[in-house]
Structure 1
């Protein structure tokens, strides 16, 4: 991952639910309150980069200053849906950078069962993505079919990259085979 990687920057900008475990003076504006003091246990949504930095660099080891919560995109409902039918879940509606966000948060939360579900979901979704990418346009190669456009809407950014690479590979292989036939 590069410092200038736009996908990494956009992943870092996604809001994460969290709350300060103690009162913090001068941060009341984060809660949109009129008081300058941010009260303990006040729920907030902070960008991932900020929440992660504050949570991991707490000066008080027994009790962190900031406690992170899993976002709605990784809620038990979404995880259960991915477990039941991974290809039916619209991940883009959950988070545009779903798998990148999940990878960053799982490094913090260390949730093995969730990791297993997400890995299996990615494997199953990848197979369908490659299948759609290699069959786009049918025999005429006329472009992206309406079914493929609908399918693409539910993919997160990593999956869209995979789709583009698989589609370009299928086109290159078809062009090579056509050249060999001549």
Structure 2
């Protein structure tokens, strides 16, 4: 994640925890991951933030399990219908599912890393058309963020809530773009409407 050093999304992703299974005894480090023992013993499992797990895994002191947001259950659901999965529910603390996936992908070996990359790209492509489509649809209903309580504003809000942070940014950009295009078209036609 060197190229993402100043990225808030990358910082949040690196604070996510992965379960590490230690291969050897590590003295005086039992406090890691909230443990109460004095030492970490072989086969001991701990939830460690990714920024620390890098060092532990690359030093070959532990292995890590693929986190739940990328488990076989989630992968199967994404293969079946990527648009039906609420990515925002899979990763907490405002972290983006794609950014977290990229972080995990960087820690994996070649074969698993390629598989993770393909899953991320396929999911993104499978959901992108729907994100843009919905953004344009809701933009046709009125300006972004305008209006009152329920009704029209709650529909785009509910749709956005299921999106990953990256998808949410694209949704807002596409919605604003469509709304500005509509406004420009109406203004450039001089306010006159054609009657057929």
In the alignment, which of 23, 28, 31 is matched to residue 26 of structure 1? 28
How many residue pairs get aligned? The number is: 176
1:7 Cα offset (Å): 1.4
Contact 1:31 1:38 in 2 (8 A): no
Please provide the CA RMSD for this pair. Answer: 1.9
1:87 Cα offset (Å): 0.3
Partner Cα distance (2:157, 2:186) in 1: 26
Partner Cα distance (1:48, 1:166) in 2: 33
Pairing 1:12–2:14 present: yes
In the alignment, which of 72, 75, 79 is matched to residue 79 of structure 1? 75
1:152-163 correspondence runs (5 A) = 152-163=160-171
Contact 2:131 2:171 in 1 (8 A): yes
Gaps spanning 5+ residues in structure 1: where?
59-63
1:108 Cα offset (Å): 2.2
Which deviations, in whole Å up to 9, do the C-alpha atoms of 1:98-157 show, x marking residues without a partner? Answer: 111111211222323343233121111111111111111544445553222211111111
User: Who is 2:87 aligned against?
Assistant: 91
Gaps spanning 5+ residues in structure 2: where?
191-196
Pairing 1:122–2:129 present: no
Structure 1 or 2, whichever has the larger Rg, is 2
> If the length of structure 2 is used for normalisation, what is the TM-score?
0.81
Partner Cα distance (1:149, 1:181) in 2: 31
